[in-house]
Amino acid sequence: MEGIVELMVMTDASTLEGRYEPDPEGGAYVATSRHRDVPDDLAGRLRTVATDEGRLRELVELAKSHGVEFDD
């Protein structure tokens, strides 16, 4: 999941770059931030990825085209 979040931020949400700290816990993805809007923004974007198969597919294809490998 962390790889998807990094790619999503890099391509679609550059304003979030550096404004949160990822802290993956087992099978969950957790991010903390001093800015209340950042976790809300990430959650909304992740909800879209989780419920829209096409969006997830786009991110995976983009990752492949850039040589990104997911290890999580």
Helix H or strand E segment including 10: helix 2-12
Does residue 29 or residue 41 have the better pLDDT? 41
- Domain positions in the chain: 2-65
Angle at 44 between CA 11 and CA 69, to 5 degrees: 40
Average pLDDT over residues 7-18: 90
Question: CB 59: neighbour CB atoms within 10 A?
Answer: 19
Average pLDDT over residues 10-24: 91
